[in-house]
Amino acid sequence: MVDTDEQMVWHNDNHVINLRINKDVLEVVSVVCPHKDSDENKCFHNDAPCVVRWFLETFGMECNVGVSKPLDALVVAWTFIGDKYKDLGSCQVWVIPVDDEAFSAWMVTQTSS
């Protein structure tokens, strides 16, 4: 993981957040990580096999940006800010629904370049 405070790289690699509404609270039921100990596992950290799962299970949807219609399963892109070799608690992860209107429009410009 090379992301730093100066460089935010968004990864659109099919992480899925399973959600449920419990009264007036949005709960994270589970996080599905698409990686299985591969060399291309950008979400691996020395402190956790998946930083996306760790942050969502630790902080819930507080690390979410963007807007999406209510869904049971939400596909997200994510970015990591910090150092893979430092304490994970000193890092940040942000997730955004891939169907967020502004994000999906921006992603089109990134794949067209």
Mean pLDDT by 10 residues, the chain (113 residues): 60 93 88 79 86 91 82 92 86 92 83 55
Annotate the chain with DSSP letters as a single string.
Answer: ---BTTB---EEEEEEEEEEEETTEEEEEEEE----S-TT-TT-BTTBS-HHHHHHHHHGGGGB-S-----SEEEEEEEEES-TTS-GGGSEEEEEETT-HHHHHHHHHHHH-
**pTM of the predicted protein model:** 0.82
Break the chain into its structural domains and give their ranges.
Answer: 11-112
pLDDT at 4: 44
pLDDT at 5: 44
pLDDT at 3: 43
pLDDT at 6: 53
pLDDT at 111: 63
